């Protein structure tokens, strides 16, 4: 099998974490799914523009509070201009295709919710426990299983005392110039000595 190809012969996805703070993200659609996507984007401090004729009560509240911009109308191709990322979260197949085409023409990645053929990017199930951010993706093929894997990972993340100990070890390694190749083994030994 060629490097970078999946067993099905498709190109592998490149995992990536985006800094969206103060960057424009366009969300097309304003139903319950879009509402969840907007909430996640606001956690990243993205500048969110929602375009949809109707919106949930919560999205309307966020717009009134100034947390998001909401254009109460149908999508226009020019809405993509200036966006760093687009989320297509409509239940209209034709609208999803139009959003994807407009994003593709402008070289902007689009997450097409529950619509893999129109997506050029996929959001994953996310686990956030400082300092970790872990995203799990099945390329849109098995969202329920992806959620289950996320829940399993949440249960096996290290406790806070391990994180604090690892931070102290890293500071010591940097000060001492400890080579990278020696650090992992020392980390495992040190964590093994911590009280259970």
pLDDT digits (tens, 9 = 90+) for 84-128: 999 999 999 999 999 999 999 999 999 999 898 999 998 878 888
Of 11-20, 28-37, 119-128, give the range with the top mean pLDDT.
Answer: 28-37
Same domain, 113 and 180: no
Q: How confident is the model at residue 11 (pLDDT cuts 50, 70, 90)?
A: low
In a domain, 185, yes or no: yes
Q: Which two tokens stand for residue 116?
A: 């893999």
d(Cα 37, Cα 90) in Å, to the nearest integer?
Answer: 12
- 3-state secondary structure (DSSP) of residue 180: helix
Domain boundary (75, 106, 123) is at 123
In a domain, 104, yes or no: yes
Counting Cα atoms < 13 Å in the Cβ hemisphere of 162 gives: 15
Same domain, 36 and 108: yes
In a domain, 189, yes or no: yes
Same domain, 82 and 167: no
Same domain, 28 and 107: yes
d(Cα 157, Cα 129) in Å, to the nearest integer?
Answer: 8
pLDDT score at 2: 40
Same domain, 105 and 188: no
Instruction: Please report, for the domain that includes residue 31, its CATH number.
Output: 3.40.50.720
Number of C-beta neighbours around residue 140 at 10 A: 18
Q: How confident is the model at residue 6 (pLDDT cuts 50, 70, 90)?
A: very low
Q: How confident is the model at residue 20 (pLDDT cuts 50, 70, 90)?
A: very high
Q: How many domains does the chain have?
A: 2
Residues found in the chain: 196
In a domain, 170, yes or no: yes
Instruction: Please report how the helices 180-193 and 160-176 are oriented relative to each other, as an axis angle in degrees rounded to 10.
Output: 140
Task: Calculate mean pLDDT across residues 183-195.
Answer: 85
Same domain, 91 and 165: no
Among the listed residues 136, 125, 75, the one whose alpha carbon sits nearest the alpha carbon of residue 100:
75
Tens digits of per-residue pLDDT, 135-154? Answer: 888 777 787 888 899 889 98
In a domain, 14, yes or no: no
CA torsion through residues 165, 187, 137, 41, sign: positive
In a domain, 3, yes or no: no
Task: Calculate mean pLDDT across residues 25-41.
Answer: 97
| Upstream peptide bond of 131 is cis (omega within 30 degrees of 0) | yes
Q: Which residue has the higher pLDDT, 4 or 154?
A: 154
Same domain, 30 and 94: yes
Instruction: Enter the pTM of the model.
Output: 0.76
In a domain, 130, yes or no: no
Domain that holds residue 112: 24-123
In a domain, 100, yes or no: yes
* 5 has a pLDDT exceeding 60: no
H-type alpha helices, the chain: 32-43, 57-64, 93-105, 143-156, 160-176, 180-193
């Amino acid at each position: 099998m060629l490097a970078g190809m999946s067993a099905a012969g498709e190109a592998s996805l490149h995992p990536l974490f985006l800094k969206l703070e103060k960057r424009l993200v366009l969300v097309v659609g304003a139903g319950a799914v879009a509402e969840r996507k907007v909430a996640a984007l606001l956690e990243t401090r993205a500048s969110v523009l929602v375009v949809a004729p109707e919106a949930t009560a919560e999205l309307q509240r966020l717009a009134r509070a100034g947390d998001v911009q909401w254009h109460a109308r149908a999508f226009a191709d020019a809405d993509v201009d200036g966006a760093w990322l687009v989320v297509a979260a409509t239940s209209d197949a034709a609208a999803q295709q139009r959003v994807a085409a407009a994003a593709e023409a402008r070289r902007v990645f689009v997450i097409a919710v529950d619509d893999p053929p129109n997506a050029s990017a996929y959001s994953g199930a996310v686990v956030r426990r400082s300092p970790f951010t872990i995203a799990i993706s099945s390329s849109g093929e098995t969202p329920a299983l992806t959620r289950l894997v996320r829940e399993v990972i949440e249960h096996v993340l290290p406790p806070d005392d391990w994180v604090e100990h690892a931070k102290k070890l890293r500071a010591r390694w940097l000060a001492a110039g400890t080579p990278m190749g020696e650090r992992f083994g020392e980390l495992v030994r040190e964590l093994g000595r911590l009280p259970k």
